[in-house]
Structure 1
Amino acid sequence: MLYIVIPVFNRKDFTRACLESLQQQTTQGFRVVVVDDGSTDGTGQMLRDEFPAVLIEEGDGNLFWTAGVNLGIRRALAEGATHIMTLNNDVLAAPDFVDRMLNCAAQHPTAVLGSLELDAATGQPVYGGETLDWRTNTRRDLLETLPVAQRQGLHRVTYLPGRGLLIPRLVLETIGLFDEKRLPHYLADFDYTSVARRHGFPVYCNYDACLSTYPDESGQEITRRQRSLRGYYQHLFGIRGGGNLRNFTWFGLKNCPRPYLPYFLLNGYARRLVGYFLH
């Protein structure tokens, strides 16, 4: 049984639209767990009134992404989940999304799977996975290198984001939950899928399953719209900072092969120190 775990904090309109897209799936063989981390905009009441079948876990506003997802995963595992999917609330699932992900999982029972992401406004692909060369800290964006004719089926990647991430129970039983202690918000998803890959579980982006996303609504994009010294500090050190130096350090220490680690870290620090003002 698939359980879809969605951590939320406010933005109830996004959550409503996401849940409505799940109600329209061609298969309904799944349950949804929403982790409401102290929302103050009526999200909890909306869930109870409009989506009574949804299982709700609650936080006090201090869970952030990783602990919120872990809380939902624990609930799902206790309910008997065979597969867990983590999903952000600011996505819309194509009607056949769950069906295509489960069909792929049946064919590759030990694989961790992500999906192709489309811009909700334009319908154009915006994310299709990437591979990382640890030696040079350079990323190969598959959407930039794959011919259009090959944008189908499975493609191996180094890691995956938590938006539409399908995880077999075996993976969770083998490597545990997401690292909420060291990676409370950003990079926890990339770290988890990297750790899974290093433990021998294949990590693929499934180009046959599509999610629509809102690229301009990501936390990093919002932070960069109004650049300031305070924003720069939050970018490098804040728990929601996309360039958080501590998070990047832990990610490198846990996943980068040791011979490449010094350059990987130094190169990454430099990019984060200047990247806030360049993008």
Structure 2
Amino acid sequence: MLYIVIPVFNRLKYTRECLQSLRAQTRTDFRVVVVDDGSTDGTDRMLAQEFPEVAVVTGNGNLFWTAGVNAGIRHALTLGATRIMTMNNDVLVLPDFVERMLFWAEKHPRAVLGALELDVATGQPVYGGERLDWRTNTRHDLLTELDAADHHGLHPVTYLPGRGLLIPLEVIAKIGLFDEKRLPHYLADFDYTSVARLHGFPVYCNYDARLSTYPDESGQEQTRRRRSVKGYFQHLFGIRGGGNLRNFTHFTLKNCPPRYMPYYLLNGYARRLVGYFLH
């Protein structure tokens, strides 16, 4: 049985719409676990009243993304999960999303799978995975490098985000859960999927499975829209900071080939120090 784990903190509207999109799936042999990390906007009441079929794990407000996901995975495993999928609450999955993810998962049972992301406002693809050249810290965006005719099936990538991320139990048995100690929020998903790839598990973006996201609503985008000295330090050092230097260092030490590490670290630090003001 597939269990979908969704960590949430407030933003009730997004959670409701995400769960409604999961209810509309063409394939229904899955269950949902929501990790409500101390929401104060009535999320707990909404879940109980409108989605009684959803299993709820309650946090104290200090889990952040990584520990929240791990708590949900642990609960799903106790319920007998045979596959795990992580998902953010600010996504809407297309009706055949689960069907198309499980189609490829059944053909490639050891593979970690992500999905093609669309802009919820325009329906246009905004993220289809990337391949990273560690030597030059250059990201090759598959959406721009693939011909439109190739926007289907599986494409190998270096890592994947946690939005609609399907993980076989064999991966969890081999590498454990997400690194909540060193990567409490950002980069934990990229790290986990990169580590899985380094352990021999194929990592693919599944262009047949699509979900819609809100690109302008990410924490990184909101911080950059309100540029300030405080925001700059939050960007570099805050737990939710998209340019967090500590997180980047841990990710690099775990995943970058040693011969490329000095340049990759220096280049990455420079990008984070100046990038806040350039985007």
Q: TM-score, normalised by structure 2?
A: 1.00
- 1:59 is displaced (CA, Å) by 0.5
Amino acid at match of 1:222: Q
Aligned to 1:262: 262
Give the ranges of 4+ consecutive aligned residues of structure 1 lying more than 6 Å apart after TM superposition.
none
CA offset digits 1:51-79 (Å, max 9, x no partner) = 00000001010000000000000001111
Amino acid at match of 1:147: D
CA distance in 2, matches of 1:239, 1:211: 26
CA distance in 2, matches of 1:75, 1:27: 22
CA distance in 1, matches of 2:266, 2:103: 42
Amino acid at match of 1:45: R
- 1:123 is displaced (CA, Å) by 0.2
Secondary structure, counterpart of 2:212 in structure 1: strand
- 1:256 is displaced (CA, Å) by 0.2
- 1:108 is displaced (CA, Å) by 0.2
Aligned to 1:136: 136
Aligned to 1:75: 75
Amino acid at match of 1:111: A
Amino acid at match of 2:76: A
Alignment of 1:242-261 (within 5 A): 242-261=242-261
Secondary structure, counterpart of 1:69 in structure 2: helix
Aligned to 2:189: 189
Amino acid at match of 2:214: Y
- 1:205 is displaced (CA, Å) by 0.1
Aligned to 1:88: 88
CA offset digits 1:162-210 (Å, max 9, x no partner) = 0000000110011000000000000000000000000000000000000
Aligned to 1:146: 146
Aligned to 1:222: 222
- 1:112 is displaced (CA, Å) by 0.0
Instruction: Structure 1: give runs of 5+ residues left out of the alignment.
Output: none
Aligned to 2:179: 179
Amino acid at match of 1:187: L
Alignment of 1:265-276 (within 5 A): 265-276=265-276
Alignment of 1:1-279 (within 5 A): 1-279=1-279
Amino acid at match of 1:98: V
Secondary structure, counterpart of 1:39 in structure 2: coil
- 1:236 is displaced (CA, Å) by 0.1
Amino acid at match of 1:238: G
- 1:229 is displaced (CA, Å) by 0.2
Secondary structure, counterpart of 1:38 in structure 2: coil
Instruction: Structure 2: give runs of 5+ residues left out of the alignment.
Output: none
Secondary structure, counterpart of 1:4 in structure 2: strand
CA distance in 2, matches of 1:74, 1:26: 27
- 1:43 is displaced (CA, Å) by 0.3
Give identity over the alignment, percent. Answer: 77
Secondary structure, counterpart of 2:126 in structure 1: strand
- 1:152 is displaced (CA, Å) by 0.6
- 1:47 is displaced (CA, Å) by 0.2
CA offset digits 1:83-131 (Å, max 9, x no partner) = 0000000000000000000011000000000000000000000000000
CA distance in 2, matches of 1:44, 1:233: 33
- 1:252 is displaced (CA, Å) by 0.1
CA offset digits 1:137-160 (Å, max 9, x no partner) = 110000111110111100000000
CA distance in 1, matches of 2:124, 2:103: 24
Secondary structure, counterpart of 1:163 in structure 2: coil
Amino acid at match of 1:259: R
CA distance in 2, matches of 1:98, 1:133: 31
- 1:42 is displaced (CA, Å) by 0.3
CA distance in 2, matches of 1:137, 1:219: 23
CA distance in 2, matches of 1:138, 1:166: 26
CA distance in 1, matches of 2:104, 2:150: 17
Q: TM-score, normalised by structure 1?
A: 1.00
